Structure 1
Amino acid sequence: MSIGLSTHQIRPFISNPIKISRHSLHHTPPKHLRLRPSPLKSQPSHQTKTQDDGVPADDVKIIAKFRSRHNYIRVLEVSRKTDHPFAGSRLLLLDGPGNIHSVSFLFKSLTNTYFDVFATLPPILPPGPIGILGFGAGSAARLILELYPEVVIHGWELDPSVIKVAKEFFGLVKLEKKYPGRLFIYVGNALNASIREGFSGILVDLFSKGSLLPELEDPNTWEKLRKCLRKGGRVMVNVGGSCVEAEDSRRDGKVVMEDTLKAMQRVFGENLFILHLGNRKDDSSIALTGELPDLVAWKKALPHSLKYYVDMWIPFSE
């Protein structure tokens, strides 16, 4: 038996879960676990394991699972011995379908997921703090704090249980101690996030029940967030895509993504760009607001492993 991993979400652990507020895990080993693919410069050879390849079920351990007021929370640990890109990682899964909300490796910072794209934002922002709306277990925050010594982060997470899990299993306590005065975490509605003098940039990663928040399909939400930015500030958003599996099958990931981008376009106009990850069947996308920056300067400010994301941005058009 193997577990298929492919970077945004993990499919249900059992084919017919008990119908309660959140899907339940069965005590038998999962037949299929899938984590959506992240972008690569080129297609891997047939000899190279990718995130779509299977991992033996014995190499994946569930180290926590419970229901909170807001989520069905699971923490998975992938064995370091397995032949897979996610070997040695811990994964935070939320909601019934089991969408990935955080990825953490013990011996490396980059995740080879959309969190790495988020980490390219600081060099194209004016001075000032960054807001993370949908903090999860802190994957994006950890990367940014390590890469950019001057950046201060304010993160919002609705579910206090997610923050507790982040502290127990994802090293959040250590992160807070390592970066005193640079990391501030708030429990509450991220759409009410604000700080005095505004954000230089905002990262948006807001999902509920396996789907983008419905509020993100409303232009008024983006107008409110735009007003929270300093002059020259930008918003970068995980808008999901066809890879996203919602608890409500009527909320098709691709349709919700397109409606969200249209709502953003009504506020940001032609200053809206999109970066597609994965493949055409199981794609996910990131959106960016503001004028396209100087790409050469942007690349120079990034570590080598993140430079190629710069060339992937294209203007959004309906």
Structure 2
Amino acid sequence: MSLQQLRQISVTSHHFQIQPLIPYPIQISTPPKNPFLTTTLSHKPTHSSSSSSTKTQDNGIPIEDVKILVKFKSRHNFIRVLQVSRKADHPFADSRLLLLDTPGNIHSISFRFKSFTDTYFDVFATLPPILPPGPVAILGFGAGSAARLCLELYPELVIHGWELDPSVIAVGREYFGLERLEKQYPDRLFIYIGNALKASVRDGFSGIFVDLFSQGSLIPELQDPNTWEVLKRCLRKGGRVMVNVGGSCVEAEDKRRDGKVVMEESLKAMRRVFGENLFVLSLGNRKEDSSIALTGDLPDLEAWKKVLPGSLRCYVDMWTQFCV
């Protein structure tokens, strides 16, 4: 997944604001000191990055640089696809964004001329090298951002993706190149419409990506240890789960579901199932932070780095053990 997860989108002559699915990562050093910053699209111009400043949510994309390609309500989501101008002075320049839910959370991102997104999808792409042989699952497929990157990086990887909303898959095929991706990898990419928590394959998965949000919040099932017990049983020996658990940046439709509280409850539920073999990567040190969780023993970090593309190696050192 999860870059999230969430804020209301409004379009007027003066304002256009979006809360991303997760805080948007901007690498300002290696490793980045503050790599994930929340991004806002607004009428306020974005200033260029320099050694003394970075683009933040206060420096949004001018509304004239954003075009809404499609906007409609499906059975499960309020769906919007945005095109950001290549001339925009912003890290999202020349990208296409999939927004879901009333809050307007970015659930997929695609750039025309680059594969890496500088979002949590890149963190997801570090997982396959530390998995045993076998297929992986993506629970909460979206428009295929995580799948596209992993398929390109790992030629032997087979992905099974689950998405509840068929309209999301249809939008992915039409606006995010998903149909082309399916034709390019017919024996490596399999997409299913249905409840992701019922995902299964014969002999189990070597790894599972969990990126499950609804109405702007992690689904309630992820705060239940029984859900993680089921997912654990879906893993092969040595398999791992990587989860977009959100954080304080998450603004749900139901204001009672505080993003930080829901994240902590989800991590505690995971801890009851996976014990001390649970690690967290914080996607920022700002108020609007978000996190990724990883199960299993932490592998040899230097060996892990060696099998990753250079731009992904910085994430390896960012994992810390989760403590209740």
Same fold (TM over 0.5): yes
**CA deviation after TM superposition for structure 1 residue 29, in Å:** 6.0
Structure 2 residue ranges without an equivalent (≥5):
35-48
| Structure 1 stretches of 4+ moved >4 Å | 26-29, 46-49
Matches for 1:23-38 after TM superposition, within 5 Å: 28=13, 30-35=15-20, 36-38=23-25
Q: Give the Cα–Cα distance (whole angstroms) in 2 for the partners of residues 32 and 158 of structure 1.
A: 26
* Equivalence for 1:96: 102
Post-superposition CA distance 1:77-128 (Å, at most 9, x none): 1000111110000110000101110010010011100000000000000000
Q: Against the structure 1 CA distance between its residues 134 and 210, is the aligned structure 2 distance closer, same or farther, given a 3 Å change threshold? A: same
Query: 1:51–1:84: 8 Å Cα contact kept in structure 2?
Result: no
Match of 1:249, SS state, is coil
**CA deviation after TM superposition for structure 1 residue 306, in Å:** 0.1
**CA deviation after TM superposition for structure 1 residue 51, in Å:** 4.9
Match of 2:24, SS state, is coil
Post-superposition CA distance 1:251-300 (Å, at most 9, x none): 00000000000000000000000000023301000000000111111000
CA-based RMSD = 1.5
Q: Answer yes or no: is 1:109 the counterpart of 2:96.
A: no
* Equivalence for 2:309: 303
Match of 2:68, SS state, is strand
Q: Answer yes or no: is 1:45 the counterpart of 2:50.
A: yes
Of structures 1 and 2, the one with the larger relative CO (CA 8 A, separation 6+) is 2
Structure 1 residue ranges without an equivalent (≥5):
1-6, 15-25
Q: Against the structure 1 CA distance between its residues 91 and 291, is the aligned structure 2 distance closer, same or farther, given a 3 Å change threshold? A: same
Post-superposition CA distance 1:189-230 (Å, at most 9, x none): 000000000000000000000000000000000000000000
Post-superposition CA distance 1:110-150 (Å, at most 9, x none): 11000000000000000000000000000000000000000
Q: Against the structure 1 CA distance between its residues 45 and 34, is the aligned structure 2 distance closer, same or farther, given a 3 Å change threshold? A: farther
**CA deviation after TM superposition for structure 1 residue 47, in Å:** 6.4
- The counterpart of 1:216, out of the listed 189, 203, 222, is 222
**CA deviation after TM superposition for structure 1 residue 33, in Å:** 3.1
Q: Give the Cα–Cα distance (whole angstroms) in 2 for the partners of residues 48 and 301 of structure 1.
A: 32
Post-superposition CA distance 1:40-97 (Å, at most 9, x none): 3145636665253221100001101100000000101100011111000011000010
- The counterpart of 1:240, out of the listed 242, 246, 249, is 246
Query: 1:59–1:78: 8 Å Cα contact kept in structure 2?
Result: yes
* Equivalence for 1:19: none
Q: Answer yes or no: is 1:86 the counterpart of 2:71.
A: no
Query: 2:6–2:250: 8 Å Cα contact kept in structure 1?
Result: no
Q: Answer yes or no: is 1:13 the counterpart of 2:18.
A: no
Query: 1:37–1:278: 8 Å Cα contact kept in structure 2?
Result: no
Match of 1:54, SS state, is coil
Q: Answer yes or no: is 1:74 the counterpart of 2:75.
A: no
AA at the equivalent of 1:177:
K
Q: Give the Cα–Cα distance (whole angstroms) in 1 for the partners of residues 12 and 182 of structure 2.
A: 35
Q: Give the Cα–Cα distance (whole angstroms) in 1 for the partners of residues 301 and 51 of structure 2.
A: 33
* Equivalence for 1:23: none
Q: Percent identity?
A: 71
Q: Give the Cα–Cα distance (whole angstroms) in 2 for the partners of residues 286 and 206 of structure 1.
A: 12
Q: Give the Cα–Cα distance (whole angstroms) in 2 for the partners of residues 33 and 296 of structure 1.
A: 37
AA at the equivalent of 1:74:
R
Match of 2:276, SS state, is coil
Query: 1:49–1:84: 8 Å Cα contact kept in structure 2?
Result: no
AA at the equivalent of 1:113:
T
Normalised TM-score (structure 1): 0.91
Q: Give the Cα–Cα distance (whole angstroms) in 1 for the partners of residues 257 and 178 of structure 2.
A: 32
Number of residue pairs matched by the alignment: 301
* Equivalence for 2:38: none
Match of 1:225, SS state, is helix
The range that moved more, 307-316 or 30-39, is 30-39
Normalised TM-score (structure 2): 0.90
